[in-house]
Structure 1
Amino acid sequence: MLKHLKTFCPTDVSFQDLDKSFVERFKEYLDKDAMARAGKKLSQNSKYSYYGKFCAALKQAVKDGILKVNPANGVDYFKQGEPQREFLTLDELQKAVNTECELPLLKNAFIFSALTGLRWSDIEKLLWSEIQHSKEMGYYIRFRQKKTKGAETLPISEQARELLGEAGKPEVKVFEGLHYSAWSNLKLQQWMLKAGITKNITFHCARHTYATLQLTLGTDIYTVSKLLGHKELRTTQIYAKVIDDKKKEAANRIQLDL
């Protein structure tokens, strides 16, 4: 939100200049001009999230006595969009594994995310020192989530560890050289198409894949929530809804002429 606010208004603004017009213009900027990292317009949920954080800051300013009146009063919020949770089936994930990618590092990182549920931001900064092993727990990762700042201990499979190959120095990144860009997104799409997958797959879909496969294969939702590092169970329930929708689709596939 702060990044977009600085783009919208690059010069310093005092609190006395924050009025309803400023709020409306910032909202319009988010709606029509703001760009996401991949060079696309913001999704409906991103607009909802950023504007919500902006309004929360204004409410806090009123609470702290900095503002007498909240300038966002009377300005409608963005409506929250229906979350899209695209994911790969186990068969599709296997096809991706068996298909060559022009960026092997990107492929390994994506597969590792699908096997562990880690976000891009946590994979990109993952150090060898954070991958640990004990006789009781097997392999696990001790890290702090970049998004939530929560300290996590995430068990990972032996297969996920084997994917990483020989360990490097403790202070070195596991996926050294991994970068986020529109070009890497293009190479990811090309890899998927080469594997015969026509879905609109982004890197974050690997995390969705992990969550939906865990639920599909019988892991209870509370455990999946903990593995994903969610603070609230309702965040994980979005994936459960996806599974329920797939069950309904399957139930309707058998049709008889009665």
Structure 2
Amino acid sequence: MNPNRSKIPLLDRACSILYKYENPISEFLLPVYSNQKTNSYLKEIAEQCKIPKKLSFHVARHTFATTVTLSNGVPIETVSKLLGHSKLSTTQIYARVIDQKLVDDMDLLQTKLS
């Protein structure tokens, strides 16, 4: 196995997306688009969903790292592996602690210490 590859268990929703795009004659799991084309599709999605932010692949990656994983208690070491970072310090850029997470963590600590 390539030292940069990892076996990552997928969430059920991710598996259903892979099955939707399954193509036995392609070597890729999903259709492959350029970063520019992906950003164009994300812009369309934002417009249809009335999302006021400018979406991009980078924003999607950052949202996955912060809102989807870190804010749901996934350890930063796991997030680092999911993002393919070789250094934890790279992942820490994504790990800006949001105010509510800080409050929740301190409440949990208070409960444990009580």
Show structure 2 runs of 5+ residues with no match.
104-114
Q: Of 47, 70, 75, which residue of structure 2 is paired with 1:193?
A: 47
Rounded Cα–Cα distance in structure 2 between residues aligned with 1:247 and 1:175: 36
Structure 1 residues 181 and 208: CA distance shift in structure 2, 3 A: closer
- 2:75 paired residue number: 220
Residue 182 of structure 1: how far off its partner (Å): 4.2
Rounded Cα–Cα distance in structure 2 between residues aligned with 1:182 and 1:236: 24
- Which structure's residues are more often helix, by fraction? 2
Q: Of 99, 103, 114, which residue of structure 2 is paired with 1:247?
A: 99
**Paired residues for 1:1-258 under 5 Å:** 150-165=4-19, 167-169=22-24, 171-176=26-31, 178-180=32-34, 182=36, 184-212=38-66, 213-241=68-96, 244=97, 246-247=98-99
Structure 1 residues 215 and 188: CA distance shift in structure 2, 3 A: same
Show structure 1 runs of 5+ residues with no match.
1-141, 252-258
Which secondary structure does the structure 1 equivalent of 2:6 belong to? strand
Rounded Cα–Cα distance in structure 2 between residues aligned with 1:184 and 1:226: 23
Per-residue Cα deviation, 1:16-64 (whole angstroms, up to 9, x for no partner): xxxxxxxxxxxxxxxxxxxxxxxxxxxxxxxxxxxxxxxxxxxxxxxxx
Rounded Cα–Cα distance in structure 1 between residues aligned with 2:40 and 2:60: 16
Give the alignment's TM-score, normalised by structure 2. Answer: 0.68
Rounded Cα–Cα distance in structure 2 between residues aligned with 1:185 and 1:236: 22
Structure 1 residues 181 and 210: CA distance shift in structure 2, 3 A: closer
Structure 1 residues 236 and 183: CA distance shift in structure 2, 3 A: closer
Structure 1 residues 156 and 181: CA distance shift in structure 2, 3 A: closer
Rounded Cα–Cα distance in structure 2 between residues aligned with 1:168 and 1:157: 20
How many residue pairs are counted as aligned between the two chains?
100
Rounded Cα–Cα distance in structure 1 between residues aligned with 2:38 and 2:91: 28
**Percent identity between the two aligned chains:** 33
Q: Give RMSD over aligned pairs.
A: 2.8
Give the alignment's TM-score, normalised by structure 1. Answer: 0.34
Contact 2:38/2:56 (8 A) holds in 1: no
Residue 162 of structure 1: how far off its partner (Å): 1.0
Structure 1 residues 190 and 158: CA distance shift in structure 2, 3 A: closer
Runs of 4+, deviation exceeding 6 Å: none
